[in-house]
Every structure is written in structure tokens, then in C-alpha cells.
Structure 1
């Protein structure tokens, strides 16, 4: 099966890539040319249906971050690595006698040049370098190269930006483009293809859903048809107040991304509980959906993935909670405290969400949305096993006992 990839790049990059098509028979490329990397922002909405997007560099990739994240397909970019720098310097060494100290280079990571020169034992001379990032000023980069040549400090400019190359050429200054090795380009496209195939396989996984009503009220067939058609699902009635949906992971994920959930709730005259499970088989997906249903409240939706991640509640306050763990340290913590991986995951997220390492039982209670008694039981298990400690107390009111102040004593960035 051929993978269709949209390629965004400069004219010269695209022309070079066309000569490599014959070496990539399983990839069909659609080309989109820009004059400057920031032009990629306007190109994204014009891209025709494809399996993935490949950018000729990191700048257009970064510029289009907001637009890319709204797309249902993966994207990748050609990294300017040390191989590109070494290839470019080697080419200059063969074609001219210009010393390294007479070169000026603009690039994403200047330290890469230092690494290459150190690797070949050339540490006595370094080129003039300027770092470029998404906020770079085109005129500033052009002036950097131009001034060095006009002052006699540099003899040749090496640029990663097509627009800089054009400006320097128009001013009769010596300039070459950074060479992207053929192997790096092919590797980047193959990686993009793999990302596309993985995304397709994930999207094709089975998704089983449950819709439950309150007070034994029925959902009309018209409402069920509208919900199921939005995710290309079939539906059956499982019990009096419970309905089952059969779809794919990709269609359900699109529904959450596009916030169809609010629309589903609006279609029903009574509150709904919605749960989905993903899995490689119908049995696995159904089991995950049933488990997800136990977390739902009125007009909320949860998902349990095939890797046992609990996502939700949708449409608001979406969190990711790990219901199982393969991390030895966390498994040890769960065993010693008898807390579930889900609760440990929530506590870790709670810690990462705070600007202070100290907290009260009330802070944790609000975050976990459980009772004070449950929160205190959790904290007692952590304190008893030295995974949390009391560091002080606070009295923010005139009567009653002061609140204990806690601090976690285990890694939360795993």
C-alpha cells in the first residue's frame, strides 16, 4: 500500500526530492513550495487529503504548531543533524581551500558544528555562527553574513534558509546552502511513513461504547442514530437503560477532538453517562468500556484505552490516569501502600499541577474529587510508608484544629 505524504519545503529542496522519488516506491509525495519558512502557516489549510506531512526543516514545523495539532494525521520534519554539517564542510574542503575560520554559518544548533570539529580533531579554528530560531529576523541573518564578507572576515556563507540564500546571491555575495544528505532525507521520509502507518493501525482498533440514562428513561432511536452516525458506529440496546455502540478508535478520538460530546448531551432530554473502551478485540474493548462506565457521572464521558489509560472526564477537565503501571518504583509504591495505580497516577498529576510542593488534605480532596475521609486514608497510607511527610500546619480560621501541611516523598515525574 502506498503512503501519501505532503511535503513542505523550498523550491530547491522540492526539486532535489523529486530525483529521489524512484528510491521511495511505497511513498507518494505531494509537493507544497514556500519562499520563507513562515509561509508554511498559510499552506497547511491548502493541503489535500494525505496520510502524513513532512517538513523540510524544524522552522516551518515549529511555525505551524497550532495548525498541526488540529490535524488528524501525524507530521514530522527533517532534522539538521551533525551529518548535514559534516557533509557540507567536507564538500567545501573538496571544492575550495577556504579555511573553517573564514566561514559564516546560520543554523538551529551551533553546538553541532563544535561537535563535528572536535570529532575530526579540528579545534584550532571555528567559523562565525549565528543561531536561528522561530523568532529570527531575516534581515538580521542576511546582515550577519553580508557584514562579515564586506569586512573581509569571512569568505563564504553557509545558510539553512532559502530566503537568506536568495538575498545574498542578489547582492553578489558568496553563499551555499547547507547540504541535507540523501540518507537523512530518505530516513526522514521513512520515519514519516512509519508514523502514518502506526496512526492508521491505532485508528483501526475496535472501540465499544456504552450510553446510560438515568431514571430508566429511554433514548429515542433518532438520538441514537445521530450519535452513532457521528462516529460511524452501529448500536444495540443492551439493557433497559443501557445502549452499546461499535466503532473504531480513530472515529471516537475525532469525536472527542472535535467536541461532539456536548452535542450528544444536548440531543438527550435526560442526563447521559457515556463510556468507551479501546482494544484489539471486541471482548477487550467491551471490558474497558464497562470499567470506564464506573467512573462516569451525569453528562460526562470517560475512555479506557487498550493500555489501561483512563481519559476524561469529557468534555471538561480531561486528564490521563494510568490504571496499571510497569514502572518498578511505582509498582513498589502501590504494593506497599495498597493504593491503586489509578490513585497513584492521580496523586502524581496533582503534584505536577501545583506550583508549591506543600499541600493540605483539602487541596488533594478538591483535586481528586473524593470525600475527606477517603483523602485522609490515602494520606495516612503514604505517611505510614514514608512516601509523604507532614512538614507543618496552618490555621486559616479561628476555631477548630489546624490543618496539617504535607509534602510528597517519591518521584512524580516518571
Structure 2
């Protein structure tokens, strides 16, 4: 089966890719041409059904980020690496020999040029470099090369952006494009294909869901059919107040991403929902059952096959790990006897804050648990040196001051 990939690039890039697309078996490329990188964001809504989207560089990819977030398929872009710099300089030495210090170069990672020159023993020569990103207007990049060349500081411009190349050329300046090696382009397209196949594989995995109401009430068969249809699920009635749904991870994930959960809930009927992912039906069923234990009225939770708990939907999709795999976190959980879920919640709490300092009340509000439970968690962390009291605050006139805490272990793993 062919993997269909949408390619967004300049006319020159697409023309070059067409010349060797026959070397990409089992891949069908659909081409979309832009004049300037920022056009990519407007092209995304016009893309026809495909398995993945490939961008010719980081610029169009970054410009289209907001549109990409709405895509239900994976995206990839060609990264400009030191091979591109080496290939460009080698080609230049054969076709238009120019002293390195007489070059002006714009690129995303200018440090790559310095690394290449160091590798080939030209550390005593430095070109004029401009680090570019999407905050730059194309006119700024054009001006960078133009001023240097007109002042005689440089003899040749090397640009990473086709639109800049065209402008400089139209203005009568000496310019060449950065060359992306054929091997790098082929590898990037093949990586995009692998990403698409992996995405399909993950989306096709089994997902099991539960719909549960209070014993005193029951959800209508029509409502269950509506929910099942939205995720293309088969349903089994377990009891008057419990239904099981069998679907795929892709369908469930799309429903959650698009906030279908809001339409599933009915304020006049207390409904709990849960979903579980797994490599087998048994694993997915167990994960759904575990997720259901966290659900409260008119909320839903999802437990993935890697034991990541997401929810409560539709109010939040905060992620909590119910399994520790980082050795350091395993050690902390073991020493403090905190559950993986509670430790993960504390870590997520700390990551979400602008300040490293917090009170027991701050943590209590975030965890949505009792003060006693919060203080028990903090005591366990403090007793083993993973949290410490660094001060006190008194924001009210009576009572005891609140202790101010700070965590004492890395949270960014």
C-alpha cells in the first residue's frame, strides 16, 4: 500500500524532489508550492487526504504551527544540518571559488558553519553569518546580504530561503542557494513515511471505554448509540447503569482532541466515562476499569498503555503517570512510599508554577484533595529531604502562619 505524503516547498525544492521521487518506492508525493515560507499556514487547509505532511524546511513548518495543531496526521520537516553546509561549500569550491571571509550566509544554526570550517582546517577564516528565525522579515535578511555586498565586504551570498535568493538575484547581486543533499532529502521523506506508518499502527490499537450512571438512573439507549457512533464503537450493555464500548485509539483520541466529551455529558444525568488503551483487549479493558475509578460525575479519564492517566475531561487533560520508569523517581517513590500517581501530580504541580515556592494550600488546591492528605504528602517528601521549608507567610490576622515549601529534586526529566 502506498504511503501518501503532502510536500510543502518552494518551486525549486519541489522541482528537485520530482527529479528523484522515483527512488522512493511505496510513497506517493502530493506537491504544494509556496512563494514565501509564511504561505505554508494558508496551504495547510487546502491539503487533500494524506498520511503525513512534509515541509521542505523549519521555516514553513514554524509558520504553519497553529494550522498543524489541527491536523489529525503526523508532520515532519527537513532539518538543515552540517551535511548541507559541507555540500554547499564543496560545490562552491568547484564552480565559483570564493574566499570564505568574503561570504555572507543566512541559516537557522550558524554554529554549524563554524563546526564545518573547523573540521576542514579553516579556522582562520570566518564568513559573515546571520542566524535567522521566523521573527525576521524577509526584507531584513535581504538587507543583510545587500549591504555587505554593496560595501565590498563580501562577494557572494548563500541563503537558505528561496524567496531571498530570488530577491537578491533580481537586484543583480551574486547569490547561491544552500544545497540540501539528495541523501538528506530521501532520508527525511523515508522518516516521514515511518512516522505515518507508526501513527497508523498506534491509531488502530484497541481502545475500551465505559459509560456509567448512578444506580438510581440510567442513560438512554439513544444517547449511548450517539456516543458510540462518534467513535465508531461497538457497545455491550453490562447492566442498567453500565455500558462497555470497543473502539480504536485513533477514533477515541480524535474525539477527545475535538472535545466531543462536552456533548456526551448531560447535566441532568450524572455520567462517568473512562477509556483504556492497550496492546490487547484485556489490557485495554483493565486500563479502562482503572481509569473509571478516578472519574466523578460528568467527567472522563483516559489511561494509556504506558500508564499515563489523562483527565478529567472536558475540564482538563493533565497527565499523571501511574507508573514510574525514571530511576530517580522510582527511588523517590520507594523511599517516601508515595504512589506513582501522587508523585507525578506533585511534579506536574511544580512544573505548572511560575515560582519554585509554594504552600500546602497551593498544593491542596491543585491536587483537589483534603488538607490532611496534602500535609501527609509533604511530610513524606520533607522527611526524606525531597522538600524543605524555606519560610513562612501570614496573609491573615489570626491563626498560625503557613509554611512555605520548595521541592529538592529534579522535575524536568
Query: Which category of TM-score, normalised to the shorter sequence, fits these structures?
Result: over 0.9
Q: Which residue number corresponds to residue 28 of structure 1?
A: 28
- 1:249-276 CA deviation, whole Å, 9 max, x = no partner? 000000011110000014x741210000
Q: Deviations over 1:293-313 (max 9, x none)?
A: 010011101000000000001
Shift of 1:160: 1.1
**1: CA distance, partners of 2:356 / 2:42:** 43
Query: Corresponding residue for 1:350?
Result: 349
Match in the other structure for 1:398: 397
Displacement of 1:364 in angstroms is 0.9
Q: How far apart are residue 284 of structure 1 and its match?
A: 0.3
1:126 shift after superposition: 1.3
The number of residues matched between the two structures is 413
- 1:291 is matched with 290
Q: Give the unaligned 5+ runs of structure 2.
A: none
Which residue in the other structure is 2:63 paired with? Answer: 63
Q: How does 1:10-409 map to 2 (within 5 A)?
A: 10-266=10-266, 269-409=268-408
Q: Distance in 1 between matches of 2:189 and 2:109?
A: 22
Name the CA distance, whole Å, in 1 between partners of 2:354 and 2:173: 52
Q: Distance in 2 between matches of 1:357 and 1:57?
A: 37
- 2: distance between equivalents of 1:403 and 1:84? 58
Structure 1 position 151, deviation (Å): 2.3
Pick which of 371-380 and 43-52 moved more. Answer: 371-380
**Contact 1:11–1:33 (8 Å) recurs in 2:** yes
Partner in structure 1 of residue 409 of structure 2 = 410
Residues 309 and 165 from structure 1, CA distance in 2 versus in 1: closer, same or farther, beyond 3 angstroms?
A: same
The TM-score with structure 2 as length reference comes to: 0.98
- Alpha-carbon separation, structure 2, partners of 1:26 and 1:63: 29
CA contact (8 A) 1:102 1:155 kept: yes
SS in 1 for 2:207: strand
If the length of structure 1 is used for normalisation, what is the TM-score? 0.97
Partner of 1:396: helix, strand, or coil?
A: coil
CA distance in 1, matches of 2:50, 2:132: 30
What is the alpha-carbon distance in structure 1 between the residues aligned to residue 394 and residue 136 of structure 2?
A: 51
SS in 2 for 1:270: coil
Q: Which runs of 5+ in 1 are unaligned?
A: none
The answer on whether the counterparts of 1:228 and 1:234 sit within 8 Å (CA) in structure 2 is yes
Structure 1 position 198, deviation (Å): 1.0
What is the deviation of 1:150?
A: 2.3
Structure 1 pair 171–392 and aligned structure 2 pair: CA distance change class (3 A)? closer
Could you tell me how far 1:98 is from its partner in structure 2?
Answer: 1.3
**Mean alpha-carbon deviation: is it higher for 403-412 or for 319-328?**
403-412
2:193 is paired with a residue whose SS is helix
3-state SS of paired residue (1:364): helix
